[in-house]
Chain A
Amino acid sequence: MFKARHSQRASVSGTAPAGVGELTRRLAGHDEEAFRTFHALYFDRLYHFLLVVTRGQEDEAREALQETLLRVARHARVFDDEDAFWCWLKVVARNAARDGGRKQRRYLTLLGRLALRWSTVEEPASEPAESNWQAMLTETLDELSPDERRLVEGKYLDGAATRELSSSTGLTERAVESRLLRLRRQLRERLLKKLNER
């Protein structure tokens, strides 16, 4: 049931935002409202992409995201096609991540030269492709116990309220909230670990 529902969502998220030509034209003309719209549309998407690029390194991904958004604000170009725009955004984001990585590597190199003269700083392995988040999430959910999984599915797929979950599980509302919080953290750690292993 869970997988089927998520594959339905897949087609929805793949929909391109309309009016990308107008949006990018206004962005290129340094329009603040256009930047607000762009930010609302692409912040999450870019963050998720950068999490993949940085192999689940959240701090690196955030730093790169900030830099990417600034670069877009400065050097936005006009695109009439959403796919082309997204490809360009990915290039900007990847470069921002690499530049951030370079800074970090320079620091590591310096440390390495000072303290560990015999060691060399490893170049990062080739960058993973854009991940299939859905597959990873499903995989991670499969690792949960049936009770835990039922709780997560009830909250995020069936949209059940905490009170409903409380009565169906026999737990207090507070206990449901706290268990959900713990499960979210657990899922997050596992997802990021999976990204790092890819």
Chain B
Amino acid sequence: MKSPEENPLLKEVLHDERLAALRETSLNQGFDTIRRARRNRRVARVGTLALAPVLLLVVLTWRRPAQETASHAPTPGTQQRTVAATPSNNSVKIISDEELFALFPGRSLALIGRPGNQQLVELDRVGRRWPGRPSGVEN
């Protein structure tokens, strides 16, 4: 017998009023600790749930500018083209059909398709490069 908890004599000998008081106090303190731990756990869980969408949003917002920066980063081969394209990206000028034809002087051109979805076709090239398919620029 290593511990005397089931021996009435040892229990009587070793236990007193102070221990009885401690028994009650420690039980109540344990309950308080358990309640606090449970509350903390609940707060942590709710906090995590509430923070998850916010974190997701933050991550997505940070990644998008990073991707855009990466796609705009100049590479040696495309540098000139990017520079040339920049003005047209910033301001779009709407021109009439006549103005469009005027941009290609001396060429046989036609606008094919419904208004708003027309294609500019260079008639000279159609037969020469892609016999079955016209090459064009969307208007």
Please report A residues at the B interface, Cβ cutoff 8 Å.
6-7, 9-10, 12-14, 30-32, 35-36, 39, 43-45, 47-49, 51, 62, 65-66, 69-70, 72-74, 130-134, 137, 152, 156-157, 184, 187-188, 191
Q: Is the interface of A mostly helix, strand, loop or mixed?
A: helix
Do A30 and B37 form a contact, CB below 8 Å, given A13-B3, A35-B31? Answer: yes
Closest 10 CB pairs of A and B: A10-B1, A156-B9, A44-B5, A133-B4, A73-B33, A13-B6, A134-B1, A73-B30, A30-B38, A30-B34
- Chain B residues lying within 8 Å of A6, measured Cβ to Cβ, are 1, 7
Please report B residues at the A interface, Cβ cutoff 8 Å.
1-15, 18-19, 22-23, 25-27, 29-31, 33-35, 37-38, 41
Q: Are A32 and B31 in contact (CB under 8 A)?
A: yes
- Chain B residues lying within 8 Å of A32, measured Cβ to Cβ, are 31, 34-35
Do A62 and B19 form a contact, CB below 8 Å, given A32-B34, A39-B30, A133-B4? Answer: yes
Q: Are A13 and B33 in contact (CB under 8 A)?
A: no
Q: Are B30 and A13 in contact (CB under 8 A)?
A: no
Q: Are A47 and B19 in contact (CB under 8 A)?
A: yes
Name 4 extra pairs, CB < 8 A, besides A12-B6, A131-B2: A9-B6, A43-B23, A48-B14, A137-B13
Q: Are B7 and A39 in contact (CB under 8 A)?
A: no
Once the chains are docked, how many angstroms separate the CA of A187 from the CA of B4?
14
Q: Are A137 and B7 in contact (CB under 8 A)?
A: yes
Q: Nearest-CB distance from B8 to chain A (Å)?
A: 5
- Chain A residues lying within 8 Å of B6, measured Cβ to Cβ, are 9, 12-13
Q: Nearest-CB distance from B100 to chain A (Å)?
A: 75
- Chain B residues lying within 8 Å of A131, measured Cβ to Cβ, are 2
Q: Residue of A at shortest CB range from B32?
A: A73
Q: Are A13 and B14 in contact (CB under 8 A)?
A: no
- Chain A residues lying within 8 Å of B35, measured Cβ to Cβ, are 30, 32
Q: Are B8 and A156 in contact (CB under 8 A)?
A: yes
Q: Are B13 and A188 in contact (CB under 8 A)?
A: yes
Q: Nearest-CB distance from B28 to chain A (Å)?
A: 10
Once the chains are docked, how many angstroms separate the CA of A36 from the CA of B26?
10
Q: Nearest-CB distance from A182 to chain B (Å)?
A: 12
Q: Are A133 and B7 in contact (CB under 8 A)?
A: yes
Once the chains are docked, how many angstroms separate the CA of A88 from the CA of B101?
90
Once the chains are docked, how many angstroms separate the CA of A9 from the CA of B11?
13
Q: Are A13 and B1 in contact (CB under 8 A)?
A: yes
- Chain B residues lying within 8 Å of A184, measured Cβ to Cβ, are 12-13
Q: Are B11 and A44 in contact (CB under 8 A)?
A: yes
Q: Are B14 and A191 in contact (CB under 8 A)?
A: yes
Q: Are A74 and B37 in contact (CB under 8 A)?
A: yes
Q: Are B2 and A66 in contact (CB under 8 A)?
A: no
Q: Residue of A at shortest CB range from B41?
A: A30
Q: Nearest-CB distance from B40 to chain A (Å)?
A: 10
Give the residue of B14, B22, B34 whose beta carbon is less than 8 angstroms from that of A65. Answer: B22
Once the chains are docked, how many angstroms separate the CA of A152 from the CA of B33?
41
Once the chains are docked, how many angstroms separate the CA of A73 from the CA of B136?
78
Give the residue of A31, A69, A188 whose beta carbon is less than 8 angstroms from that of B14. Answer: A188
Q: Are B22 and A133 in contact (CB under 8 A)?
A: no
